[in-house]
A and B are shown apart, each in its own frame.
Chain A
Amino acid sequence: MMTEVRLHGRGGQGVVSAAQLLADAAVLEGKYVQAFPEFGAERAGAPITAYARLSDQPIEIHSSITDPDVVMVVDRSMAYFRGTAQGLAGDGCFVCNFDGPPEELRSKLGLGPSVEVIALDATGIALKSLGKDYPNTPMLGALLKATGIVGFHSVEEALGQRFRGIVLSGNEEAFRLGYRGGSS
């Protein structure tokens, strides 16, 4: 069983880090993974795509992901970009940094009736928890809550491997708030 995740956002928002955190957490659970960026010129603000594959079996495919099971849009200004949902599985999951009702996204983006649509004000959470617009960890929380592709504690452990001090505590809080849909 393999799950393919595609992440969209902008340079500087931790899109690639979010894919890597998913991979780190999955490896802690004994899974096989890939996490890789779509590389263009690296600069803050430019659109970024990253990918993650999680599987119980070794993964031998090394191509980009065109038909994802899960799409995560980290940047709120990209919420209405139709391209982000391209190829999303009919019964897939669409998780978006969006300060409004999920049904609005469904109709605006033409997402099918069986797609699970999750909207989270990740920017609001990030500004509150981290004091900076790094919406990646709250978005990871929402993604986990909706899909359960890796365990909550595995991501907490992965965060602990990556961050220290107030950056860690801020990210942990942002992740927890994202998992709970923004309520503390």
Chain B
Amino acid sequence: MSLQPLRVAALQGDEAVAEAVRQSGVDVVAAYPITPQTIIVEKLAEYAAKGNLGGEFVSVESEHSALSACVGASLTGARVFTATSSQGLAYMHEMLYNVSGMRLPVVMAVANRALSAPLVLNADHSDMMGSRDSGWIQVYAENVEEMYDRTIQLFKLCEDPRVLLPAALNFEGFILSHDKERVRLLDDEPVRRFLERPRPRHRLDPADPFTFGAMATPETYYEFRMQQSEAMETALHVFDEVERGFEGISGRRYGAVDAYNTDDADVVMVINGSAAGTMRAAARGLNAAGENVGVLSIKLFRPFPLEQVVSHLSRARAVVAMDRSMSPGAPSGPVSEDVKAALQATKPVMSVVYGIGGRDLSTEDGKKIFGMAKEGSLSGSRSVMYGVKV
């Protein structure tokens, strides 16, 4: 497939996702339109009102209902999208397991924001990390163009008959959702062709009946969950195929992880989301001054790219794992725990919590954290709460 000329636009993160959803030929968007919602559904409602959406926009009375409506629509074989944030995702929690358990390829955008109380608006990863084990594929974008690209990629990945799992596209609220950046948009036609698929085999059809979400017993439930788990493992390989395919229409490819100077570095920082770029800028600054530090950005968090993470960290002399969520009472946050599990105690992993409730993380902060790692002041199996006021 030849590359199409690109349209360059200045778009906010939310607008870029809405455009990608429109281009993906979504059949049904079901969403709760009130706080905490994103501009994504505002744009999609606008497209629908102007007759530009193609699919149907269903405005419902809660996030729980939004995802329930997504279940019904997806069961008919429709391509389905929704978006939410913070408390909205928490309110969906029960339905998240129904979507993944019925193996429905729903794609959801999550503008990651901290949870109340105290009442808060700003970014951290607590919302999605609270639903970490719900069986959804989870991708964390670093910038607006990646948000646009990942939206299209995730429909392809979720709908693959070898996968059939839902996916959450994660990006920090305000930091990315409201950030206007330059985006190279694709034309509608190559996106449409990229996402072409036969009608799903398993769907609600009176002529060919199936049952979904039926009662399972101790004799069967475990196996259903095992199949979900295996589909997650398969998704890791399909993700790579999807990225290659997407590269064919866009020239852009990200990987499940992004490694900057991880080979043979004194310290490698492992991080996910928009702060990864800030930390790379910090690392570049330090390396220009003669240091040797690296950054590993985990873009695909579920399924966790275990082998790639191990391989990129194998030669690092020290590892710092960064969590933008808190796990009270746990030794450290979810990213750190995964990195520790991946490395199997072959080397110490220092753990840092940062950016809670929108607390800013600058390149200077990044340089400080690299410095603390080198001098050993981050050691210990519990997270260091970076930037908290004492």
- A interface residues (Cβ-Cβ under 8 A, vs B): 19-20, 23-24, 26-27, 30-37, 39-41, 59-64, 66
Contact = CB atoms under 8 A, between A and B. Distances in A.
Chain B: interface size category: 20 to 34
B127 to A, nearest CB: 16
A69 to B, nearest CB: 16
Interface of B: 8-10, 121-122, 142-143, 172, 174-176, 178-182, 274-275, 277-278, 280-281, 358, 360-363, 365
B280 A35 contact: no
Given A24-B10, A61-B277, A63-B278, A33 B182 contact: yes
A26 B8 CA distance: 12
B10 A27 contact: yes
A156 to B, nearest CB: 15
15 contacts: A23-B180, A30-B8, A33-B181, A35-B10, A37-B174, A39-B122, A39-B358, A59-B181, A60-B143, A60-B277, A62-B176, A62-B179, A62-B274, A63-B361, A63-B365
A31 B143 CA distance: 16
A170 to B, nearest CB: 23
Contacts of B178: 36-37, 39
Contact of A63 (B143, B174, B280, B363): B363
A41 B121 contact: yes
A67 to B, nearest CB: 9
Given A23-B10, A34-B180, A36-B179, A63 B122 contact: no
Given A27-B8, A35-B179, A63 B362 contact: yes
A62 B121 contact: no
B117 to A, nearest CB: 15
Nearest to A37: B178
Nearest to A25: B10
Nearest to A64: B360
A44 to B, nearest CB: 17
Contacts of A31: 182
A60 B179 CA distance: 13
Given A23-B180, A27-B182, A34-B179, A62 B143 contact: yes
Contacts of B181: 23, 32-34, 59
Contacts of A27: 8-10, 182
A113 B127 CA distance: 48
Nearest to A62: B274
Contact of B275 (A20, A24, A59, A62): A62
A20 B361 contact: no
A32 B175 CA distance: 16
Nearest to B277: A60
Nearest to A39: B174
Given A60-B142, A62-B274, A62-B278, A33 B175 contact: no
B363 to A, nearest CB: 6
A36 B180 contact: yes
Closest 10 CB pairs of A and B: A60-B277, A62-B274, A27-B10, A36-B179, A35-B180, A63-B362, A39-B174, A23-B180, A24-B10, A61-B278
Contacts of B360: 63-64
Contacts of A41: 121
Contact of B121 (A19, A34, A36, A39): A39
Contacts of A37: 174, 178
Kindly name the residue among A30, A32, A39, A41 whose own CB sees the greatest number of chain B CB atoms within 10 A. A39
Contacts of A66: 362
Contacts of A33: 10, 180-182
Contacts of B278: 60-63
Given A60-B142, A61-B277, A64-B360, A40 B121 contact: yes
Given A61-B278, A62-B175, 12 more contacts: A24-B180, A32-B182, A35-B180, A39-B178, A59-B277, A60-B142, A60-B143, A61-B277, A62-B176, A62-B278, A63-B362, A63-B365
Nearest to A55: B182
A35 B362 CA distance: 17
A37 B175 CA distance: 8
Contacts of B365: 63
A26 B174 CA distance: 21
A52 B327 CA distance: 34
A26 B10 CA distance: 9
Nearest to A60: B277
Contacts of B172: 62
A3 B304 CA distance: 37
A50 to B, nearest CB: 10
Kindly name the residue among B9, B142, B179 whose own CB sees the greatest number of chain A CB atoms within 10 A. B179
B11 to A, nearest CB: 9
Nearest to A27: B10
Given A39-B121, A40-B121, A63-B361, A20 B180 contact: yes
A36 B175 contact: yes
B361 A36 contact: no
Contacts of A34: 179-181
Contacts of B174: 36-37, 39
A34 B178 CA distance: 10
A59 B143 CA distance: 9
